[in-house]
């Protein structure tokens, strides 16, 4: 049975908008239904120790017939194929693509490799605003506030809507 899954996409290296579109194409290949995509949003980087380029962000809804753990492995493969570099010490690095599972069929899960819903998604405008486009009535499992309230409570970020992620549909 297909599981509804929200994936956050981010990029701040190379042609960021094109990177998101390439990643969305790869995500469509593993989805059992048509991908539902937000607009692309430009945002101010968060969590970096140095000044880095602005990010492009988006959220997509896909349906998958694999476990959350297998999906995570597949997302890491896509990131690697697209040239994603990872730091040894866990500090943030600029990236061609970042793919995060925001929600996997409203599952609450915490393992060594995966926490669902994504532990920081509900406090990041660069996730919340695109998520609101894709699923205006979405409610994070285990969080009492709706998207509108979470967006108001999230730290300020200079967000600017750009083009559509999925211009072909």
Q: CA-to-CA distance for 105 and 108, rounded, in angstroms?
A: 9
> Residue 164: what pLDDT?
87
> Residue 91: what pLDDT?
54
Residues in the chain: 169
Q: CA-to-CA distance for 138 and 61, rounded, in angstroms?
A: 12
Q: At what angle do helices 16-30 and 68-81 cross, to 10 degrees?
A: 140
> Residue 94: what pLDDT?
75
> Residue 90: what pLDDT?
57
Domains and CATH numbers, the chain: 3-164 (3.30.70.560)
Joined tokens for residue 138: 């979405």
> Residue 132: what pLDDT?
97
CB 101 within 8 A of CB 4: no
> Residue 41: what pLDDT?
97
> Residue 167: what pLDDT?
57
Cα separation values, 68 from 79, 110, 113, 123, 165, Å? 16, 11, 11, 22, 24
What's the pLDDT tens digit per position in 134-165?
999 999 999 999 999 999 999 999 899 988 88
Q: CA-to-CA distance for 9 and 5, rounded, in angstroms?
A: 13
Write down the residue that tokens 């120790």 correspond to. 49
Would you tell me how many other CB atoms lie within 10 Å of the CB of residue 1? 6
Q: CA-to-CA distance for 95 and 84, rounded, in angstroms?
A: 6
Write down the residue that tokens 């970096």 correspond to. 48
Within the chain, which residues score under 50 in pLDDT? none
């Amino acid at each position: 049975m297909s599981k509804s899954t929200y994936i956050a996409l981010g990029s701040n290296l190379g042609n960021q908008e094109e990177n998101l579109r390439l990643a969305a194409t790869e995500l469509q290949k593993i989805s059992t239904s048509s991908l539902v995509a937000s607009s692309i949003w430009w945002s101010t980087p968060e969590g970096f120790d140095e000044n880095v380029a602005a990010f492009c962000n988006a959220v997509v809804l896909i349906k998958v017939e694999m476990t959350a753990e297998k999906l995570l492995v597949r997302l890491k493969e896509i990131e690697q194929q697209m040239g994603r570099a990872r730091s040894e010490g866990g500090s943030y690095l600029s990236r061609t693509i970042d793919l995060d599972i925001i929600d996997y069929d409203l599952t609450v899960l915490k393992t060594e490799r995966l926490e669902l819903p994504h532990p920081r998604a509900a406090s990041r405008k660069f996730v919340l605003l695109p998520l609101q486009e894709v699923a205006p009535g979405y409610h994070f499992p285990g969080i009492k506030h709706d998207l509108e309230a979470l967006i108001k409570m999230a730290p300020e970020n200079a967000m600017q809507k750009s083009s559509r992620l999925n211009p072909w549909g």
